[in-house]
Amino acid sequence: MFMEHLALTYKCHSSIGNSLDLNIMIKEVLTSFVEETNALKGFFYLIDENNKIYRYLAYDDNFAFDEKIFQEQIKDLSCVRTFDYCEDKIVLLLPLQKGVFFIIFQKNDTKLEFIISMFQDLIVKLNISIDACLNVQKMKSKNKMLNHLTNELKEQQKQLLESDKYKSNFLANMSHEIRTPMNGIIGMSHLALKTDLTKQQKHYINRINDSANSLLGIINDILDISKIEAGKLVIDKSDFDLFKIIENVVNLIEVKAYDKNIDLIVDYDLKLGKKYYGDSLRISQIFLNLLSNAVKFTHEGEITIVVKEIDNDHIRFVVKDSGIGMSKSQVEKVFDAFTQADSSITKKYGGTGLGLTITKNLVELMHGKIWLESELGVGSTFIFEIELPKKVARPSFSLFSGKKVLLIDDSESWCNIIAHQLQSFDLDVEFVQSAKDGIDLLSRKGDIYDLIIIDWNMPEINGIEAFKIIEEKFNIDSNKNILINKRDFYE
């Protein structure tokens, strides 16, 4: 139910504001509202400049309805509400600043609580989008107001983008809150499996563990798509061995392939063992997602993996399977969010419908491209090319030798990770696990540190508060030697 509500919200939200032509935009919104919520019909009434209300667009003009009932209900536009249309139909009324939506449902056949709540959340974006469309109409008839309206449209476009960010931030925050307890469930189930249990108890706990890992995968997908849409997903750059990535991913997937009697054929240049410079984690994620899909949708036959160096800065990956394949229409929407080939595929194979959307965005963030060649009943071939230069020489860090660093973080794991990296550059690292201990240490030792790294999210005194105290108490120039967020360093 959670994923169905999330997909419904995403699709209805995404249908708004895709055109500055009011007729096109309203038609797309009405179609989305009616079809995605399983409604019967839908109407939009526009409020004109003289404050008169008239029917502007219907989802289906052939639907016979009583205009008097609608006109009577328009007298009260104070809130989103429902009213009975006849014995077996109920109408949801969605009032806006410049119009009204009427969506007709079969009575006793639809749970409207979530739909009403969702429509309330769409009001702001609908008002902005309708205003933008109406402003375009005015602009066409009043050339003298062109400059003013252009600026206004830019501001409204900015507001639309902000409304999308609210959605992405909501998904990211919600996912984070779920992710923490899910990791706890997975960790505790691992510990429970190490205790004395009956065969049946181990079976139950393994099912719990599998379900928790599945849900964690969904949450990770939601986090990734939220970061991508908010423009906050950063591609890391470091030296890595591409051959080892290919080998590791193939090793992860070959057990599942073996269980389904699928042959894995790997073809790659031997020179791929050389070092490259890029984001090894995201390349592994892309490669693993494509291979996992290939195994999931292949019942027998083979999967061929080809990795070739196109030139000194570009690599091509090919994942070809002999699976169920896709039709031309399915191929066209395969990279859309919350989309799989059809609903029966989702029911049979599971998944969020986000994996390939994330994959495409990751490829494009690495200045690459991805495409699909497929034939229904024959198989699919995913091909992606990314910019991946050879290993670059590291700069000399001899100037940093012996410099002193103070690391303040309540996580011992983070302290060890960052300290290890800094020590590899011959830096002298000391760390404490609370802002209070860091301030006390500075009080005792004085201004001996060349760099202070502070985690912003700590109990009692957070990083921002600690920064202000340190800056004021010790007269430190924050532009030179304080780094507030450890992830600014680590990423």
pLDDT of residue 200 exceeding 70: yes
| Amino acid letter, 120 | Q
Domain with 346 in it: 238-387
Mark whether 355 and 479 lie in a shared domain. no
Mark whether 379 and 421 lie in a shared domain. no
What is the mean predicted confidence (pLDDT) over 409-438?
A: 80
CATH assignment at residue 22: 3.30.450.40
| Residue 405 placed within a domain | yes
Mark whether 475 and 342 lie in a shared domain. no
What is the mean predicted confidence (pLDDT) over 95-112?
A: 85
Residue with tokens 């490829």: 363
State which of 114, 141, 168 marks the end of a domain: 141
Q: What percent of the chain has pLDDT over 90?
A: 17
Partners of 404 in the β-ladder = 428
pLDDT, tens digit (0-9, with 9 covering 90-100), for 466-481: 888 887 777 665 554 5
pLDDT, tens digit (0-9, with 9 covering 90-100), for 222-243: 777 777 776 777 788 888 888 8
Name which of 92-101, 271-280, 470-479 the model is least confident about. 470-479
Q: What average pLDDT is seen over the chain? A: 81
What is the mean predicted confidence (pLDDT) over 96-125?
A: 86
Question: Which of 33, 25, 11 minimizes the C-alpha distance to 131?
Answer: 25
DSSP 221-240: HHHHHHHHHTT------EEE
pLDDT, tens digit (0-9, with 9 covering 90-100), for 112-167: 888 888 888 889 999 999 999 988 888 777 766 666 677 777 777 777 766 666 66
Mark whether 382 and 411 lie in a shared domain. no
Decide if 320 contacts 381 (C-beta within 8 A).
Answer: yes
What is the mean predicted confidence (pLDDT) over 353-360?
A: 85
Mark whether 370 and 414 lie in a shared domain. no
pLDDT, tens digit (0-9, with 9 covering 90-100), for 298-333: 988 999 999 988 888 889 999 999 999 998 888 888
pLDDT of residue 146: 64
Mark whether 373 and 245 lie in a shared domain. yes
Q: How many domains does the chain have?
A: 3
Decide if 193 contacts 240 (C-beta within 8 A).
Answer: no
Mark whether 260 and 359 lie in a shared domain. yes
289 against 60, higher pLDDT: 289
pLDDT of residue 143: 67
| Residue 157 placed within a domain | no
Question: Which of 215, 138, 134 minimizes the C-alpha distance to 178?
Answer: 215
pLDDT, tens digit (0-9, with 9 covering 90-100), for 441-473: 888 876 678 888 888 777 888 877 888 888 777
1 confidence band (pLDDT: 50, 70, 90): low
Helix 242-259 vs helix 280-296: crossing angle, to nearest 10: 20
| Residue 266 placed within a domain | yes
**Measured in whole angstroms, how far is the alpha carbon of residue 353 from the centre of its chain?**
11
Question: What are the structure tokens assigned to 253, written together?
Answer: 């997937």
The pTM of the full predicted model, rounded to 2 decimals, is: 0.48
Question: What are the structure tokens assigned to 28, written together?
Answer: 């797309």
Decide if 356 contacts 334 (C-beta within 8 A).
Answer: yes
Residues 6+ apart with CB under 8 A from 454: 408, 409, 435, 438, 463, 466, 467, 482, 483, 484, 485, 486
482 confidence band (pLDDT: 50, 70, 90): low
